Structure 1
Amino acid sequence: MLRKMVTFSLITLINGCASNNVAPVLLSNPNVKTVVGAQGYPVLDVIRFERHKPSTLEQASQCIKASVDGLEAAPILIAQNVQASGTSSFEPPPPSIGKPFRFTLTASTGTSTVFTFERIRYTNAGPIGAIEGIGAENAYEVMRDIADRIERCLPLAST
């Protein structure tokens, strides 16, 4: 009987802490798109960063090569965009350890440069959950840092 009560208490505690709601910081961010994953909880789908710094396809390609540490191959041109796949990692809340993940980055060039991260998944598993407290906010920050590094590499617009 005691064992059943302990088991019931643990299940209640776990269910009480579990949430299928998108982390508020991600939910309120218009540049983050989530979808419901196969397991029934929200996962990161697309993260977009627009920078008001102009660029060309060649500049974006060179800066992606120079600024993204975990590129899996050289950037390629697809439909007037530069695309590359890469890996990085983020630190989830303790006591977890770093979580490696992969992504596809597309840079759209012109009068502004738009960086779109898609196919965001753990390196050895499925999609990254967008639930508060598991680290999706930290993964977002890593991708923002990647976009910032690429932007800093882009030349200043000539006047």
Structure 2
Amino acid sequence: MRDKKSHEERRRVWSAAFGDKAVRGYEERLRRYLNDLVDYFSSQAAVGKPVNITKWFELYSYDFMGDLTFGESFGMLEAQEDHWAIHLLKQAMIPLGLYLPTWFFRIVTSIPGLSRAWQRLFDFCGERMMERIKAPAEIPDIASVLVVPIKGQQPSREQWELL
């Protein structure tokens, strides 16, 4: 982000979600998924079965991030596979490995059809944010902190850009 004023506004909104108090509150969420992960590892070790630890840490990480961000897991530890939104995210990230300039991605995402996966992912995230605006979280998460200034209303375009 090149505009200093826009950067400061976004930082002000986002910093509340990552302050000491907020981060301490996220620990309860982390433990739930960590316990599920350890239980799975223990069950596999008890029968001498090998575990693809990379896969399981990935499932754990996305479930925790989903809960931390939107107040609900992606259910990947339970399903033992990627959620469709995470699959889209992974597909959309492949071109980033090519180390192309930023302007290239702006051009590509403006071409109809080529940005369909990105748009579905943004729509999914937007729907989760609208759910959080309409129904505040019982246990604070990142989205619940970000939507405080919106106060249950339909966000303006400027507010969406800050989120």
TM-score bucket of the superposed structures, by smaller chain: under 0.3
Higher helix proportion (structure 1 or 2):
2
Output the TM-score relative to the length of structure 2.
0.26
TM-score, with length taken from structure 1? 0.27
Answer 1 or 2: which has greater strand percent: 1
